[in-house]
């Protein structure tokens, strides 16, 4: 198999296994309050880390460049308009604009 | 159930449109990373996890092997372990059905279906994911097949679409002061690790910021809310 085929098959198998584990292991059970309390905060922790690494990391170094500006612009637009579509369109447009300057 | 599913389609529609734009950018970048058109579409159809797919193709594009790409994608996807565990108790059916429903967990449908008390609206999650799946696979096909006509993806700023999408999701989540603090802590942890660890690890470690939820006050607030809403689920 080619590198691309192995990558796709590997990603598919691993993703399916990860997504199946929780529902199978914990289905129908009542959860303790400490678990719930952590789960509620998991989303802001993970999303913030994803955004920060995507916007600032270039490989293994941190950089403030065109896409950082674009992501910030997209976030601002979302904050004001609450439109996720406007958010991604403005982010791309702002990044393109900074690169064109 | 049908009502909830329709609600999910409605609530998920804007995210599905944005996800479609994201998918077009994925199709174009996959093309550049050496994927055939059909390979890019198959990947979106059977992996259905944006961050992992972007991570994997960026490693292949940088000259990395399949092992490194899958490992990084696994780390990126590791967040679905606690996320799907959180949804687990809200899913109905036997183990096989629950495992199948778990496949529908993606970031925005997970966030949209959260009732804020630790339980999830199953039908809404499935609806929001169903419409996202269509635009995700369709958008990938558009990007892979007709992306060349669009020109240089960097010049178009397509790489900013993915983080901007997640930024929008994040801003929806920052309702409480505690959530904002956890987001700041997660950001700091992730950025501090970027120079020292492979891609994916910073995000995984940042999930530890959610342990703030173990403090007495955070737990007490959850218990109060659950009691106020009747039986905890």
pLDDT tens digits for range A12-62:
999 999 999 988 887 666 667 787 788 778 888 888 998 999 899 887 889
Q: Does B65 touch chain A (CB under 8 A)?
A: yes
Same-domain check for residues B113 and B66: yes
A20-59 residues labelled b (16+ CB within 10 A) or e (exposed): bbbbbebbeeebebbbbbbbbbbbbbbbbbbbbbbbbbee
Q: Calculate how close chain B gets to A1, using CA atoms only, in Å.
A: 11
Which of A13, A35, A42 best probes binding to B when mutated, by most B CB atoms within 10 angstroms? A42
B166 shares its domain with B210: no
End of a domain among B141, B173, B205? B173
Name residue A61's beta-bridge partners: A58
Number of Cβ within 10 Å of residue A82's Cβ equals 13
Q: Are residues B23 and B120 in the same domain?
A: yes
B157 and B51 assigned to the same domain: yes
Lookup result for tokens 């501090």: B192
In chain B, whose CA is at the least distance from the CA of A86? B18
Residues B188 and B147 in one domain: no
End-to-end CA distance of chain A: give it in Å, rounded.
44
By C-alpha distance, the chain B residue nearest A16 is B103
Rounded to a whole number of angstroms, the distance from the CA of A53 to the nearest CA of chain B is 6
- Following DSSP, what letter does each residue of A37-74 receive, concatenated? HHHHHHHHHHHHHHHHHHHHEETTEE---HHHHHHHHH
Domain finish residue from B173, B196, B214: B173
Hey, are the CB atoms on B163 and A15 less than 8 Å from each other?
A: no
Q: Do B168 and B204 have their domain in common?
A: no
| Whether B116 and B101 share a structural domain | yes
End-to-end Cα distance, chain B: 18
Q: Mark yes or no for CB contact A37/B195 under 8 Å.
A: no
Q: How far apart are CA A90 and CA A65, in angstroms?
A: 16
Determine, for residues A95 and B69 on separate chains, whether the beta-carbon distance falls below 8 Å.
no
The residues with which A62 forms a beta bridge, in sequence order, are A57
**For chain B, what is the HEC assignment?**
CHHHHHHHHHHHHHHHHHHHHHHHHHHHHHHHCCCCHHHHHHHHHHHCCHHHHHHHHHHHHCCCCHHHHHHHHHHHHCCHHHHHHHHHHHCCCCHHHHHHHHCCCCHHHHHHHECCCCCECHHHHHHHHHHHHHHHHHHHHHHHHHHHHHCCCCCCCHHHHHHHHHHHHHHHHCCCHHHHHHHHHHHHHHHHHCCCCCCCHHHHHHHHHHHHHHCHHHHHHHHHHHHHCCCCC
Q: Do A48 and B206 touch (CB under 8 A)?
A: yes
Contact A26 B85 (CB under 8 A): yes
Q: Are residues B201 and B98 part of one domain?
A: no
The full set of domain ranges for chain A reads 1-30
Domain that holds residue B90: 2-173
What pLDDT shows up at residue B80? 86
Residue-level pLDDT at B232? 44
For the entire predicted model, the pTM comes to 0.83
Six-digit token pair at B228?
């106020």
Interchain proximity B83–A88, CB inside 8 Å: no
ipTM exceeding 0.85? yes
Q: Nearest by CB to B202, from A30, A34, A53: name it.
A: A53
| Residues B64 and B106 reside in one and the same domain | yes
Contacts with B87 from chain A: Cβ below 8 Å: 22-23
Closest residue in B to A23 (Cα–Cα): B88
Per-residue pLDDT of chain B (233 residues; tens, 9 = 90+): 788 999 999 999 999 999 999 999 899 989 888 899 999 999 999 999 998 898 888 888 878 889 888 988 887 787 788 788 888 889 998 889 999 999 999 988 998 998 877 789 999 999 999 999 999 999 999 999 998 888 788 889 988 998 998 899 899 888 889 999 999 999 999 999 989 987 778 887 888 998 998 998 888 887 887 676 554 44
- Residue B179 has φ and ψ, to the nearest 5°, of -60, -40
Going from the C-alpha of A74 to that of each of B13, B21, B134, the distances in angstroms are: 19, 14, 24
3-state secondary structure of A2: coil
Contacts of A54 in chain B (CB under 8 A): 162-163, 166
Q: Looking at the structure, do residues B166 and B56 belong to the same domain, yes or no?
A: yes
How far apart (Å, rounded) are the C-alpha atoms in residues B108 and B157? 22
pLDDT in the model for residue B229: 57
User: How deeply is A61 buried, as exposed, middle or buried, from its count of CB atoms within 10 A (0-12, 13-18, 19+)?
Assistant: exposed
A58 backbone dihedrals φ, ψ, rounded to 5°: -115, 95
Looking at B173, B192, B225, the residue that finishes a domain is B173
Q: Please give the tally of structural domains in chain B.
A: 2
pLDDT at A38: 85
Query: Taking a C-beta distance cutoff of 8 angstroms, is the pair A74, A91 a contact?
Result: yes
Q: Are residues B6 and B120 in the same domain?
A: yes
Same domain for B182 and B109, yes or no, is no
């Amino acid at each position: 198999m080619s590198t691309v085929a192995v990558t796709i098959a590997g990603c598919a198998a691993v993703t399916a296994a990860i997504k199946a584990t929780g529902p199978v292991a914990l289905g129908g059970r009542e959860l303790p309050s400490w678990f719930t309390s952590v789960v509620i905060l998991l989303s802001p922790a993970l999303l913030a880390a994803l955004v920060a690494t995507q916007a600032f990391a270039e490989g293994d170094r941190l950089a403030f460049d065109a896409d950082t500006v674009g992501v910030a612009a997209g976030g601002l637009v979302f904050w004001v308009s609450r439109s996720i579509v406007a958010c991604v369109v403005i982010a791309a447009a702002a990044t393109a604009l900074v690169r064109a300057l | 159930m049908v009502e909830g599913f329709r609600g999910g389609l409605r609530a998920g529609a804007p995210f599905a449109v944005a996800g479609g734009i994201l998918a077009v950018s994925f199709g174009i970048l996959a093309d550049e990373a050496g994927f055939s058109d059909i390979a890019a579409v198959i990947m979106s159809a059977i992996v259905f996890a944006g961050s992992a797919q972007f991570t994997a193709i960026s490693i292949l594009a940088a000259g990395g092997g399949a092992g490194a790409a899958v490992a990084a994608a696994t780390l990126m996807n590791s967040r679905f372990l606690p996320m799907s565990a959180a949804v687990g108790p809200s899913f109905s059916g036997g183990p096989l059905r629950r495992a199948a429903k778990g496949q529908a967990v993606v970031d925005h449908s997970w966030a949209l279906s959260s009732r804020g008390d630790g339980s999830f609206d199953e039908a809404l999650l499935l609806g929001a994911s169903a419409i996202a799946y269509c635009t995700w696979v369709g958008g990938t096909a558009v990007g892979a097949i007709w992306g060349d006509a669009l020109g240089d993806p960097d010049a178009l700023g397509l790489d900013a679409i993915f983080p901007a999408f997640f930024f929008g999701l994040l801003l929806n989540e920052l309702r409480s002061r505690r959530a904002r603090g956890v987001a700041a802590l997660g950001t700091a942890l992730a950025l501090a690790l970027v120079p020292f660890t492979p891609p994916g690890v910073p995000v995984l470690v940042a999930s530890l910021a959610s342990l703030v939820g173990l403090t007495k006050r955070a737990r007490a607030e959850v218990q109060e809310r659950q009691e106020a809403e009747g039986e905890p689920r």
